[in-house]
Chains A and B, each alone.
Chain A
Amino acid sequence: MKLESKVPEGNIAEKWTNHKFKMKLVNPANKRKYDLIVVGTGLAGASAAATLGELGYQVKVFTYHDSSRRAHSIAAQGGINAAKNYQNDGDSVFRLFYDTVKGGDFRSREANVYRLAEVSNNIIDQCVAQGVPFAREYGGLLANRSFGGAQVSRTFYARGETGQQLLLGAYSSLNRQIKNGNVKVYHRREMLDLVIVNGRAQGIIVRNLLTGELERYSAQAVILATGGYSNVYFLSTNAMNSNATAAWRAHKRGAFFANPSFTQIHPTCLPVHGEAQSKLVLMSESLRNDGRIWVPKKAGDNRPPNEIPEDERDYYLERKYPAFGNLVPRDVASRNAKYVCDEGRGVNGERAVYLDFSDAIKRVGKKVIEEKYGNLFDMYQNITGENPYEVPMKIYPAPHYTMGGLWVDYNLMSNIPGLFVLGEANFSDHGANRLGASALMQGLADGYFVIPYTIGNYLASEKPEKVDTERSEFNDAEQNVKDIIAKLLSVNGKQTVDEIHKRLGHILMDKVGMSRSEKGLKEAINQIRELREEFWNDVKVVGTGEELNQTLERAGRVADFLELGELMAVDALNRNESCGAHFREEYQTEDGEALRNDEEYAYVAAWEFKKVSEWELHKEDLKFEYVKLATRSYK
C-alpha cells in the first residue's frame, strides 16, 4: 500500500486556500443526517466536537473522565504560539512555519506545518471571542512571552494556566452544543476497539467504566483525539490516565503508526524523588525566559548553590549556544542536562541541574517574577519544600509529549477511510521535536479550523445511512474486547499492573529515552518481549469486569504499552540517524550534536501492524521546498 499524503498542488502559501475551495461540501440541510464519533475531549476533541456540532452534524463525544473539562490539555502551562506579530519583532506566518519545521529537525510535512502557522492567528481570535482571559498589557492589548526555539515573542498566555483557559473555552463551546442538542457527551467511557465496516471506520466499542458494560456506537466517521503516549515510560508529565489504548487498538485494526520513537523528554521538570513517585511534574518552559540553567564546573562539588561562586558555575547552555542560550529547543536542552549529569556534575551528584532566578530577581524585582510565574513557584515549593525565590530550582528532563502518533494525510485522515486523528494522537506537525507552546496551537488548529473542512470533503461522498450496530463487525469487535478483558482477569499471577509498568518504564527511559544506541535498542526489544510474556503469565488483576474496576482499566492500558514500547524501539533502531529528540549515539557531530542523514532518512516511518512483534514499514518521503534542509544551529 502506497502512502498518499494528499498535499495539494501549488505554492505553499496557497495550498490550504485552494484546497478549501476545491473540497466538496455537505449541504447544510444534509449535515444533520450524518453521525460522527469524537473520542477525547481535550483541546483537539472538544474543539472538533463543538465546531462540528455548530455546523449541524450529529456528534457523539466520548471521554473516560467524569467531565469533559478534565482532559489533560488542562495542565498545559506556558502558552500558545501564533504569528500575530503584535510585538512588531519580525514575526510572520512564514517565520512560525520556518521555526516549526526547523525546530522539528526537518522530519515534518511542510504543507501541514504551513497550514498550522496560517490558522494560528484565527485561534487567538477565536479564543478571545470565547472569553478566554489571556494576559494583557496596561493598554489593554494582548501580551506575549518568548519560548524555546524562537527569537520572536509570539506566545500568548494566561499565567501558567494557558491550557486550562483554552480547554475551558473549548469546553464552553462544547457545552453550548450539548444544550443545543447537536452534541451528545458520553462520560466515563473508554474506547476499546474500532469497528471497520466495508473498509471504513464506522464505529467504536466502549466500556462503561461505572458498570463494566460494553457499548456499541456507529457513525459515518470516527475522529480520534486521544492524546499522546508518554505514560509508556510510567513516569512522565502526563496525567495518570493518559494512555495509548484507543490509538493502539486502531493501529491493530490497520491504522499505521508513524514515527513512534519521536518522544519528547521535556527539560524543565522536577527530579525523581523516590520509588513511590507516581508522576513527574513539569515546570513550564517559559521559566527559561528568566531562569539561568547551571551546574558546578567540578564534579563532586556538593556545596549549597548559594555558596558556589560565579566563576565555579557552568552555565552550559549559554556557553555552548550563545545565540539562543537558555532558550534552545527542548531536545537540545534535555540532552545537555543529561550530559552534565553523566559527567557527575549534577546537583549533589544526582540527576538534577539548577534553574536559577537570582539574576532575574535582581534585575526586575521579586514582584515581577511573582506576577509572571507565581503559581509555578508555589507549586515547586509545595512539592519540594524549598523556596525557589531564595534557592535555585532543581530540574531534570522528563517524558512529556509524543511527536509520533497515528499516520494521517493532509486531511488528517488515517490510512483507514473515515478514521481521522487530531492533536497529539497524530504524528503530523512537529517532526522529531515539538517547540514549546505549539501543542495547544496544533490541538486547536486541528479541531477548530481543519477537521470541519476536511471531514465534509470525505462525507460528501458517503451516504448518510445509519450503520446497524448489530452487524457482524460490531459483534466481532465486541468479542475481541471481551476476550482481552477475560484474559487479563484470568491470569491471577503475583505481580501488580503498576510493578510491571514501572519496569517497562525503566527499560524505555534507559534505552529508548534521551539517548539511544543500536546495542541498547536491541536489548530493549528483547527485554520488552520478555516483560510482556511475564505480564500475560504473572499479572494480578483483582475484581471483575462487570463493575468499576480501576485496576482492570490500567491493566488494559499497560498491555497495549507493552506492545507500543517494542515498536518505539523498533522504529528507533530502524532510524540510523539522529534527529531532534531521537538521538542515536552512533550518529553525532564532533561536538555531540545530532547528525541527520537526509539522504536515507528524510521520511516518515509509518508502521503497519501484522501481528504482535511484527510490523511492515511504509515510507512517506518528505520534500523540503520552502525550508532548506540544513543542520540546525542554535549557537
Chain B
Amino acid sequence: MKKIILAACIALASGSAFAQSASKVDPALVDRYVQSMWSKVSDEWKARVKQDETQAICSATLNAPSAAEFEKIVAREKAAVVFPADGKVMGDWKAGLKVANTGTGGQFSDKPETYKGGNCYACHQMAPSELSFGTLGPSLTGYGKARKFAPEEAKAAYAKIYNAQAVMACSQMPRFGHNKFLTEQQMKDVTAFLFDPESPVNK
C-alpha cells in the first residue's frame, strides 16, 4: 500500500504540462531517429542508447509508472542488487568525498581510463561546508546522523546507491552499481561519506 501511495505521489510530481504526444508516438518511429542519430558510432557506444526494460517503461510513462509497473520494476531491480561479499558496506569517507565531488568519466570526451566519479554534488547537498551543490535530488546533509548511524540504514543507503530503482521505480538517480558505473569500493566509500560520524556530511 505504501508503495502504491508512493507511485501516486510520483505520478503527481512528474506529470508534465505538455506531455501529450510522447506516450502516443510509435516507439518504432522514435527508434529510427535514435538509430540515425547514432548510426556512425561504434557498437560499444551504440549499446549505450539501447534501453533496458526499466528505462523503456520510465521513458514511456514520463517516470510515472502505474502501480503494477512500479511494483514490477522495484522487484526486478531489487533482485539484481549485489552487496559486498564480506557484508561490509562502509568504506573510507575521505575517498567517498572524492567520488561525490568528481564529475568526470564515461563521457565521449573522456579517455576510457578516466576516473569515473559519482558526481553526487551535482544533484545533492551533502556536507554543509560545500556551497556548490545541485538541487535535482534531496539534501543529504546529516544523512547518517539523522538515521542514528544505524548499520541497517547504511546497508539501505548502499542498496540505493547501487540501484536507486530497487527502492523507487523510475527514480531519476543513476543506478550506479547496476550499470557498473561505480566500483564496489567507490559505493562503499560514498556510503561511509554518508554514514561515518567523522564525515563532514554529519558535522
- Are the chains A and B members of one assembly? no
